[in-house]
Amino acid sequence: MEDQSVDEFEDQYSSQVIEEEDLFFDDPSFDQDDNNHFEDGESAALFAQAVAQHNQLSTHAQDKDDEIQGQAQEVSEETLRNRLAGASAHKAGLDSLDKDRVNQIIYEASKGSAFFENEQKKDHALTKRIDEMLQRYDQIKDLDLTLEQSIVDHKIRELEESRDLTQAICHLDMDAFYASVEELDDPSLKDVPMAVGGMSMLCTSNYLARKSGVRSGMPGFIAIKLCPSLKMIPLHFPKYRAASAKVRDIFKKYDPDFLPMSLDEAYLNLTKYLTTTDLSPAEVVEQIRNEIFESTRLTASAGIAANRMIAKVCSDINKPNGQYFLPSEPEAIMEFTKNLSIRKVPGVGRVTQRVLEALGVKTCGDIYGRRALLYRLLSPISFNFMLKSYLGLGSTSLSSESSRKSMSVERTFNPISDRAALRQKVDQLSELLAQDLAKDGLRGKTVSIKLKLTSFTVRARAKTFPSYISSSKDIARIAKDLLEKELPVNIRLMGIRMSTLKPQANEDQGVKKYFSVVTNKIINDDDGNSNNYTPMKRPRPDDIESGTINDTSIDTDTEMQGTSSRPVLMDLICPICNRQLQMDNPQFNYHVDECLTKVTVKAILQEQDHQGMEVIGSGEDSNNSSTSSSCNSENGHTSNHSRKRMGTSNRQLRDKARIKSLLDYYS
DNA sequence: GGGTCCGTCGTGG
DNA sequence: TTCCACCACGACGGACCC
Ligand SMILES: Cc1cn([C@H]2C[C@H](O)[C@@H](COP(=O)(O)OP(=O)(O)OP(=O)(O)O)O2)c(=O)[nH]c1=O
Ligand SMILES: [Mg+2]
């Protein structure tokens, strides 16, 4: 439908940068697409970050020796092979092909290249990080973690109460999208292994090629070694956009507020539509997929579930031209996640999987048994994410209100080190970026450049300006300043990004800069997003937003026990207040919950103020990263000795500090 | 003790 | 012959400023 796609076909850029062989990326219409990202409102887990950032500079390790080294070497090749195999290698289940053979071919084809060396470096770094995390694990594995257990269980109950099963969310995903579209125009492609992309990179492949191990993100020259008869087709974005538009027209009929994630993917909330029909959710989705096929002759796969996270997982289960319905019942969902590989959870990638595996977590169900350890080792955000994965929780709303945060262009070319040539690249890229910005009527304050050296190491530099800019000249000037400081370099890729964006105030383009500065300030504060977000940054209140004003649960006595009132009294000691209590389990849980309210913590904090703070500071020592994140201004490696200084009561203080930090994040 | 900016990493399509 | 894309986002630590 929307034929705004064809817009302009003038592309002065193609000739020099993009080589003749793989010119598929120089299509002017290669504006990826209108992505939405924000996977489920809080999207990716990314908890490997917590560990990753830690030893940025603490490298050059002197410690550790042959035994661990030896170990690392053993696994090294294995993990590296996995890494080289690529992201989408894991996903596809139905292979019936020799995975080892495929990995071997990829490994052999890569060995010795600069790319390979770089991957090897990254893999070693990851192995090292995991080793260090395992050392932290060793330190705490024998400790008494009942307190952590209680805190985590409290959090789990909280999350369970927040479970929303009222919505019918559907994730729809076209099968081998680009490849399938190409097969429409040339049906003979259906009968041969085929991939879309070029010699340097494939974007996707048809299912015949996948049988040979050819997948998204694989370079074409390696794919050919894997499958010599592979037919490669260059990209044709206008066709994909046209097909996507047809599909979206159908989505619109079932949910006018559907949320497109990419050209070939979208979430639909079918709740409202289901009230207008007698059909079951699965039948409705069958109908949608039939309509898609009638309209485009393309097949789609779908998952139907209570929230976005599990719906997306479900859409992959019967992938080629199939669908999966997961009943919106707690038991069904828990059964589903129990044996679900953690890797299937959107946001858990190759690295996170490796880290979790080292901690004994392979499936979402494994998380529960490791919850206390994970609580100690992961960042609060990551840990929260893991709990939600275990419980099968996710966003149930499709609110897409999200303005773009950045816009960028980048190009790979034959290595350049000549200064004049580099500056010319800046000019070309700046021009492209300025065009894209103009298309969306955007300006920005921050310009960053990205340089990928011939060694494949990446360097990024940024500069923020006091005023908003958008012209190619302004962009190029700043980018060149940034570039000068990096010379000399020999690079294979250059990129330029604009961020700190702001929509062009009016539609008139010829803005006077000086005025725009002033008006910016005015508009800046009252425009756009102001509505729901507090200025809080990192500790994002997620969705719960319970913060408001504290005193959330002052009314403690609403109703104590909902379920059982049978007297199974036991002598229990609350790990929070240390009091001995005689009550049954539900009562005890309730008590612990109460103990964990902010009011309680405040009292604790006051008490602890009286007792001196520096004890807490040292008590929190090295375990940090998951809980502290703010203390140790000192050396980050305060050895375990500091712990010795703590008396008996210090243990309590340490616990209380942890509670405080937990509630800071989670409530 | 807050805030912002910068650079890197992980993830997904 | 050729030797691993391009785009967007969130998390996080460190540097730097109050
Ligand atoms: C994964 C990936 C996809 N794409 C493009 C090509 C894909 O056709 C399109 C959709 O991505 P996907 O939905 O991930 O893959 P697919 O549709 O080709 O195959 P299937 O869903 O059946 O597993 O996005 C890239 O350009 N780069 C990538 O790394
Ligand atoms: Mg798809």
The CATH number covering residue A430 comes to 3.30.1490.100
- End-to-end CA gap in chain A: 46
Residues A213 and A312 in one domain: yes
With a 6 A CB cut-off, is A316 part of the ligand 1 pocket?
no
Residue A11 lies in a domain: no
Which of A33-42, A108-117, A325-334, A495-504 bottoms out in mean pLDDT, i.e. has the lowest?
A33-42
Which of A478, A504, A530 is the endpoint of a domain? Answer: A504
Which of A14-23, A69-78, A409-418 has the highest average model confidence (pLDDT)?
A409-418
Q: How confident is the model at residue A69 (pLDDT cuts 50, 70, 90)?
A: very low
Rg (CA), chain A: 28
Is A184 in a helix, a strand, or coil?
Answer: helix
At A308, phi and psi to the nearest 5? Answer: -65, -40
Separation in Å, CA A252 to CA A246, A249, A321, A403, A410 = 10, 5, 21, 21, 33
Q: Which residues surround ligand 2, an ion (CB under 5 A)?
A: A 173-174, 177, 264
- Is A82 within the bounds of a domain? yes
**Domain endpoint, select from A484, A504, A524:** A504
pLDDT of residue A531: 33
User: What global pTM score does this model have?
Assistant: 0.77
Per-residue model confidence as pLDDT tens digits over A40-67: 444 444 455 554 444 433 333 333 333 3
Q: Is A158 found in the same domain as A174? A: no
Which is nearest to A45 in space by CA: A348, A391, A358, A343?
Answer: A348
**Gap from CA of A216 to ligand 1 centroid (Å):** 6
> Does residue A662 fall inside a structural domain?
yes
Residues A523 and A558 in one domain: yes
Return the DSSP state at A190.
G
Residues A105 and A128 in one domain: yes
Residue A564: pLDDT over 90 = no
Q: Is A117 a catalytic residue?
A: no
- Which residue among A34, A196, A216 has the greatest number of ligand 1 atoms within 8 angstroms of its CB, and so is best to mutate? A216
A353 touches strand B (CB under 7 A): yes
Confidence at A80, pLDDT banded by 50, 70, 90 = confident
Phi then psi dihedrals of residue A413, to 5 deg: -155, 175
Ligand nearest to the CA of A88: 1
Nearest residue (by CA) to ligand 1, atom 25, is A203
CB A364 within 8 A of CB A345: yes
If residue A334 lies in a helix (H) or strand (E), which one and from where to where? Answer: helix A330-338
Encoded tokens for A594: 């109460």
User: What is the maximal distance between C-alpha atoms in chain A?
Assistant: 84
Residue A311's φ and ψ, nearest 5 degrees, are: -60, -40
User: Does A43 map to a domain?
Assistant: yes
* Pair A499, A523 in one domain: no
Q: Residues 587-626 of chain A: which lie with beta carbon within 7 Å of strand B?
A: none
Q: Same structural domain for residues A159 and A37?
A: yes
Question: What are the tens digits of pLDDT across the range A377-426?
Answer: 999 999 999 999 999 999 999 987 778 999 999 999 999 999 999 999 99
What's the pLDDT at A84?
Answer: 82
Alpha-carbon separation of residue A213 from A86, A91, A207, A392 (angstroms): 11, 12, 10, 31
Pairing of the two strands A202-205 and A231-233 = unpaired
Q: How far is the CA of A114 from the centre of ligand 2 (A)?
A: 31
The single-letter DSSP state of residue A187 is: G
Q: Bridge partners of A409? A: A496
How far does residue A430's CA lie from ligand 1's centre (Å)?
A: 28
- The confidence score (pLDDT) of residue A141 equals 82
Q: How many structural domains are present in chain A?
A: 4
- The CB of A322 under 6 Å from ligand 1? The reply is no
**Where does a domain end: A472, A487, A504?**
A504
- Asked whether A604 and A656 are in contact (CB, 8 A), the reply is yes
Q: A500: phi > 0 → left, psi -120 to 50 → alpha, else beta; which?
A: left
CA-closest residue to ligand 1 atom 5: A203
User: Based on the domain organization, do A486 and A522 belong to the same domain?
Assistant: no
Tokens found for residue A150: 């209680």
Confidence band (pLDDT; 50, 70, 90) for A505? confident
Ligand 1, atom nearest to A240 Cα: 8
- Interatomic CA distance for residues A34 and A444, integer angstroms: 19
Tally Cβ neighbours within 10 Å of residue A646: 17
Q: Does residue A363 share a domain with residue A297?
A: no
pLDDT tens figures, A185-198:
999 999 999 999 99
Q: If we measure between CA atoms, which residue out of A588, A536, A598 comes closest to residue A564?
A: A588
If pLDDT is split at 50, 70 and 90, which confidence band does A293 have?
very high
Q: Above pLDDT 70, what percent of chain A?
A: 64
Are A358 and A454 within one domain? no
Q: Quote ipTM for the complex.
A: 0.96
The domain that contains A268 carries what CATH number?
Answer: 3.30.70.270
Q: Which domain holds residue A347?
A: 21-86+97-163+336-391
Retrieve residue A341's tokens: 């590989």
Same domain, A554 and A471: no
Residues 438-457 of A with CB within 7 A of strand B: 446, 448
Q: Which nucleotides of C are covered by protein (CB under 7 A)?
A: 1-14
Do both A131 and A280 map to the same domain? no
Give the span between the Cα atoms of A318 and A77, in whole angstroms. Answer: 33
Q: Does A8 map to a domain?
A: no
Pocket test for ligand 1, best of A204, A237, A247, A321 (most atoms within 8 A of CB): A204
Q: Which residues are A175's β-sheet partners?
A: none
Residue nearest to atom 18 of ligand 1 (CA): A176
Q: How far is the CA of A467 from the C1' of C5 (A)?
A: 32
- Does residue A80 form part of some domain? yes
With a 6 Å cutoff on the Cβ, whether A47 touches ligand 1 is: no
Indicate whether A6 belongs to any domain.
no
- The helix (run of H) or strand (run of E) holding residue A374 is helix A371-377
CA geometry: angle A128, A359, A142, nearest 5 deg: 105
The pair of three-digit structure tokens given for residue A367, joined into one six-digit string:
């998380």
Nearest to A511 by CA among A448, A464, A443, A447: A443
Separation of A42 CA from ligand 1 center, angstroms? Answer: 22
Q: Which of A656, A145, A598 has the alpha carbon at shortest distance from A375?
A: A145
Is the Cβ–Cβ distance between A412 and A354 less than 8 Å?
A: no
Q: Which of A177, A296, A321, A350 to mutate to test the pocket of ligand 1 (most atoms within 8 A of CB)?
A: A177
What is the CATH classification number for the domain harbouring A342? 1.10.150.810
Three-state secondary structure call for residue A291: helix
**CA A475 – C1' C2 distance (Å)?**
34
A509 CA to B8 C1' in angstroms comes to 36
Q: Is the dihedral of CA A470, A473, A474, A477 positive or negative?
A: positive
Is the distance from the beta carbon of residue A178 to the nearest atom of ligand 1 less than 6 Å? yes
Q: Which residues contact A601 (CB under 8 A, 6 or more apart)?
A: A656, A659, A660, A663
Q: Measure A110 CA to ligand 2 centroid, in angstroms.
A: 27
Residue A323 β-bridge partners: A302
Q: Which numbered ligand comes closest to the C-alpha of A24?
A: 1
A408 to A6, A433, A437: CA distances (angstroms): 21, 6, 9
∠ Cα A386 A388 A393 (to 5°): 150
Task: Average the pLDDT over A114-125 and give the result.
Answer: 93
**Is the same domain home to A159 and A173?**
no
Query: Which residue's CA lies closest to nucleotide C4 at its C1' atom?
Result: A219
What residues form DSSP beta bridges with A451? A459, A494
In-domain check, residue A153: yes
Beta bridge partners of A169: A269, A305
Burial class (CB in 10 A: 0-12, 13-18, 19+), A498: buried
Spanning CA of A453 to C1' of B10, the rounded length in angstroms is: 20
Beta bridge partners of A324: A303
CA of A110 to the centre of ligand 1 (A): 23
By percentage, how much of chain A surpasses pLDDT 90? 55
Tens of pLDDT along A210-253? 999 999 999 999 999 999 999 999 999 999 999 999 999 999 99
Mean pLDDT of A286-310: 98
Res. A662 pLDDT band, cuts 50 70 90: low
Catalytic residue among A39, A183, A265, A431: A265
Tell me, using a 6 A CB cutoff, whether residue A383 lines ligand 1.
no
Which of A542-556, A561-575, A599-613 ranks highest by mean pLDDT?
A561-575
Q: Is ligand 1 within 6 A of the CB of residue A173?
A: yes
Q: Which helix (H) or strand (E) holds A515?
A: helix A513-526
